[in-house]
């Protein structure tokens, strides 16, 4: 279960409902996008592609919240409850920041490993001379 957003001075039930709906939507959309990714990508390329997917999904979800269309997945509607929208925005921020930090850390580690793997043959060649 996702963490409960800070909903002080808000309607907690609406805020939590918006948070959960958005997290589920984002996770579902990311899983769908991952399934469409080519299988023959190397790990570093896949991490970069996933980072772009996270960005694109976050932009799309943010536009949907801004436009208040279909946020409760019942079709086009205007939301009357701003706390539901606040919960959605909090979920969007938590989700995108969490994935971005995870992917940036992975990309840094992979880049360092790649550099060290490229340096090993060069170092071996220098030793054999």
Say if CB 71 and CB 63 are below 8 A apart.
no
Indicate left, alpha or beta for 68 from its phi (over 0: left) and psi (-120 to 50: alpha).
left
Mean pLDDT of 94-113: 88
Residue at 1 is within a domain: no
Highest mean pLDDT (candidates 10-19, 39-48, 85-94, 107-116):
85-94
Residue at 5 is within a domain: no
Give the closest residue to 19 by CA, choosing from 85, 102, 67: 85
Residue at 2 is within a domain: no
pLDDT tens for each residue of 53-103: 999 999 999 988 887 654 455 544 445 577 888 899 999 999 999 998 988
Give the closest residue to 104 by CA, choosing from 39, 30, 51, 25: 51
Which domain does 73 fall in, by range? 12-128
Total number of domains in the chain: 1
Residue at 7 is within a domain: no
Residue at 97 is within a domain: yes
Say if CB 101 and CB 118 are below 8 A apart.
no
Residue at 6 is within a domain: no
Residue at 4 is within a domain: no
The pTM assigned to this predicted structure is 0.70
Amino acid 78: pLDDT: 47
């Amino acid at each position: 279960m996702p963490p409960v957003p800070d909903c002080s001075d808000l309607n907690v039930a609406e805020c939590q409902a918006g948070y959960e709906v958005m997290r589920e939507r984002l996770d579902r959309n990311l899983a769908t996008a991952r399934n469409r990714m080519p299988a023959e990508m190397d790990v570093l390329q896949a991490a970069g592609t996933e980072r772009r997917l996270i960005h694109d999904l976050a932009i799309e979800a943010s536009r949907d919240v801004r436009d208040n269309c279909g946020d409760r997945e019942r079709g086009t509607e205007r939301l009357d409850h701003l706390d539901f929208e606040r919960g959605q925005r909090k979920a969007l921020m938590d989700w995108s920041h969490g994935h971005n930090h995870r992917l940036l850390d992975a990309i840094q580690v992979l880049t360092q490993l790649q550099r060290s793997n490229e340096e090993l043959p060069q170092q071996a060649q220098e030793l054999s001379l």
